[in-house]
Structure formats: C-alpha cells, structure tokens
Structure 1
C-alpha cells in the first residue's frame, strides 16, 4: 500500500478558479504527493471534476473544493466494494486516498482506455439492472440521496448569475423541493449510481461497458437512476425511440409511465442547469448555453436545442 499525504492544508474553497490552468497546478502537486509522473497528462473533462489521463496510464479526478472530500472518500470505498463483487465499475488505485491539494480533493483511478468511447443506452440499462440487485456490506456507510445538496451551493457560491437569475433559481429550487417531497416511488429503494447516463459508461480496452464517476453513489429511489436516459430521449432528443425502448426493455421498467415522472424530470433538468453554471464564468460558449437553459426554465420553451455537455 502506497501512503499518500496531504500536500496543502485543507480549505473550504480552492484558492483559484477551477480552470484548466489551475487544475494542472493541482495535478502536479497531487502526483508528487503519491509518486506518480504527471508528464504529458491530458485533460479529458472539466465539469464537476477536472479529469486527467496520465501516461502511466492512470486517471486523476480533481474535485472543486474540499467540500467534496466526503464524496471522494465514499467514491473510493464504493469502488473497492464493487471490485469485490466483480462488478464492471471504475477501479481506485491501491493507495491512501483521497489527497487534499490546494483546497481541492484528488483521487486516482485505473485508466480504462486511451480514448473515451461511451456506452449505449441499453448498456446503461443492463449495468443499472445489475447494480440495483446489489446489497452493500454493513460496514460500508453509503449516505441517503440528497437531491438538492449541491444545487444550493452552486447557486449561492456562483457570482456569475445576475441577481434576477439567482433569485429565480432559488425560488425554483424551493418549488422543486416541495414537489419532490410529495413523490411516491414505485420501485424499491436501494443503492443507486446517482448520475447514470451514457456519459458515465465507458468501454474499456476490450470493448466492455464500465460504470464510472461514483461520487454520486447513494441509497435512494431507483427511479433517480432511470430519469436521465428518459429525458435525454423525451426532452432533448439525444436518444432515439429504439435506443430508449431497448433501455427500458433490458432494465424492465419505464420511468416515463410512472406518475411522478414530470416532477423528477423537472428536478433533473434544474440540476443540469446549476451543474453547468459552474463553468459559465470562464467559458463564454458555456455561459450562452446556461443563459439559454435558464430562459427555457422560465418560459417552458423546448429543450430540443440544449447542447450535451
């Protein structure tokens, strides 16, 4: 077991904006802390986390602030449990992690492939069907799903929003909390991925679909894991009818036929907007997309022109 260290004192917020440049500095310090070589590292995603691929090959995930440290610890623990179940999920490196660097939380993972090839909706459905049968060991403390925990932080901590938009989003958040509290779920509750969609299923070097990004793992309603594929089809047109029917067939349940679907659909759309808003201050293309999405939330306009991120 390789022992890592905290490379900088923890802080509630990182000291610099979450950009490719600042996360590269974090990457260098974190790799030095655990003895990995960051030369020729490639930034492959910048969203909730900055995700780098090292030449090793290793994947490094950098969280925005240490406010996500508990999620990172849970993510590593869940990955190690799923490995014991031989479940096809991303594998955490056998080192002491996460590592705290410059007010950010960093984790290290086996690289699945040199290129990102996303899974299909039917593969998402099959992975979820198997995941939802698993029972975690008693010692693994998986928290209950808190649907809105990050949304409030994203609104209050983002100076990019206009006062009018921030007020609208806070009001909308309150409405969605009330609506969510009234939902009567049909499926039995249990372990869920928390952000299940084709973007979080990657094919490995042998072409096998593997579930990644486990930081949203929770105990909660299984409908939560099905809703994104449904709205990607019904609201955004990102999946075809054939793809969605294959997804529901392999999983065995169509969340769109559940009476609570419209409420849960609105919740997930709202969370997609607040998630993307984190990138708006340093990317004008993203800022334009967020403004468009907020207008759609205000007016009820079609979501068919929302761009995938």
Structure 2
C-alpha cells in the first residue's frame, strides 16, 4: 500500500465531488504509471468510479478511509481468482495497490466492458455455485462475516433520521438478532461474495459474465449469497418468476424453501434500509425512498413499491 502526497493520507479534507477528486485521480494515476487525461466519471456515490481512456482500466476512489483493509483484501482476492481462472474482475498486474491519496483509498481494475451491461440471474447462480466450490487459501485472510455486527455499525452512524425512525430500526434489529441466533443453516460454511446480486455481475466484452465488487468476500453461511436474488423476486418484484426459477435451477438450492429464509431476508432488508438512511441528508430521492421503506416495514405493506437504489 502506498500513501500519496495530496493533502496527506489522513487529513480527510478532500471534497468528494468531481472537482475535488480531480487532483486525487491525477496523482493516483501518475503514481501507478497511468494517464488520467480524459477519464470518464461513471458514478459518484459511496465510491467515485472512473473509466480511463488511455487504457481499459477502471479507477475506484472510496469515500471512506476505513475500507483500506477491505480493498487490500479485494485486490488479493482478484489476483487469486485469476489463478483459478474464475470469471471476476482483474487488477492490472503492474500496479501496486491500494493507494491512499488525499486521505482516500484508490484501486485500479481492468475494465470488462465498453458500455454498462449486466448479466443474468441465471449466470449469477452459476458463478456463485462455482465460487462456493472453491476452497480459499489461508493467504487471503478472509474475515468471518457477522451480519449483526455490520448492521449495528450501520445503525450507529445514522444521524440524519428522526429519533422515532431510529428507535424503530433499533428495536427491529434487536428482535432480528434473537431470531438470527436461532437459525440452523444447511449449506456448507465457506467463502462467499458477500453482496451477490444482479448489480454485481457484468457482461464482459468477450460475452461471458464476471463478478465485480470483490471487497465483501468473507467466510460465512452460503445462504447469505442467495438471499438477495430471492428477496428481489419475492418481496419487490425486481425479478420475474421465470428468472428466479432459473436461478434456483442453476444453483441447485432454493433458499426460499429453507425455514430461516424470512429471518435472513428481514435482516438483509434492514441492512438495505439502514444503508439508504445514510444518504437522506444529501439526496432528496434517497430521503423519499427511505421514508417509503420505513413505512413499509412498519405496516408490512408496500414492498412492491420499493425502487432499486
């Protein structure tokens, strides 16, 4: 890992805007021996994502300095998956990373496509099945995934919502924690992607599907990697019945038939709502969606009105 000199790695003073990130992008690329001129900003959210024009490389700048260890591990995961010939994002072999520039964490990834195109849920199931068959080397130092700890940390930082909503979410989390501790998982424990959904599988320019966003890799019950696709079909209608049936067929297990499905879905859903709660002070659309989702959790109705975010 290398710290850049732009403002010092710990100052946290870089403004997370297109203008504020320009010198961070430039210095990071210069350090990596890449040309940032003409880079295209693809998205600006929890991360700023750029596509370079000089080479097929994606630059990802993380807003939160605390993800440094996660991104270091993600780079290691990408390199190891390459040795396994597993279809996932690759990192440029010549670049030492992650970098810390202006207090922000920067990573470089090989671009898999020229225009954004997602793969299918069937292909997601196939890649998850293949991934779950792999045995990770100890050198990856994958952490154990604790969804309760992750949820608690997310709720702890929710300062922009009402006290009433905060109390409601805290009480719901406490009830779910008791239910989660009683779950009896049936799939083997092992390596998971950690955020397996249709949003994290892209169509490679060569035609095949690849997994992206590798920083959530961890050791956990494999049911966790199946829950989002099931929820997106069952609760929100974001996938069709035929798509979900193909997902189940390709993976070989229907998590919705497992007795712990509702508990795990409720927990993952609450994490989604808490994540959105962090955006309410900076985005009117996020604030409206957060209010819609909390109202839905309170009443038990209206999940089919949720919008992807």
Q: Does 1:206 align with 2:191?
A: no
Q: d(CA) in 2 for partners of 1:148 and 1:61?
A: 28
Distance change in 2, residues 1:182/1:64 (3 Å): farther
Stretches of structure 1 that go unaligned for 5 or more consecutive residues are none
Q: d(CA) in 2 for partners of 1:172 and 1:21?
A: 40
Distance change in 2, residues 1:30/1:280 (3 Å): farther
RMSD: 2.0
Distance change in 2, residues 1:302/1:20 (3 Å): farther
TM-score by length of 2: 0.92
Distance change in 2, residues 1:10/1:234 (3 Å): same
Stretches of structure 2 that go unaligned for 5 or more consecutive residues are none
Partner of 1:223: 223
Q: d(CA) in 1 for partners of 2:170 and 2:20?
A: 29
Question: Would you say the 8 A contact 2:14–2:103 is kept in 1?
Answer: no
Partner of 2:90: 91
Partner of 1:15: 13
Partner of 1:138: 138
- CA deviations on 1:57-81 (whole Å, 9 max, x unpaired) are 2111222222111111110111111
Distance change in 2, residues 1:4/1:104 (3 Å): closer
Which of 50, 53, 62 aligns to 1:52? It is 50
TM-score by length of 1: 0.92
Moved more, 56-65 or 19-28: 19-28
Deviation (angstroms), 1:44: 2.3
Q: d(CA) in 1 for partners of 2:251 and 2:70?
A: 27
Q: d(CA) in 1 for partners of 2:30 and 2:159?
A: 33
Moved more, 276-285 or 102-111: 276-285
Q: d(CA) in 1 for partners of 2:126 and 2:290?
A: 32
Question: Would you say the 8 A contact 1:91–1:110 is kept in 2?
Answer: yes
The 5 A counterparts of 1:117-156 are 117-156=117-156
The 5 A counterparts of 1:222-301 are 222-301=222-301
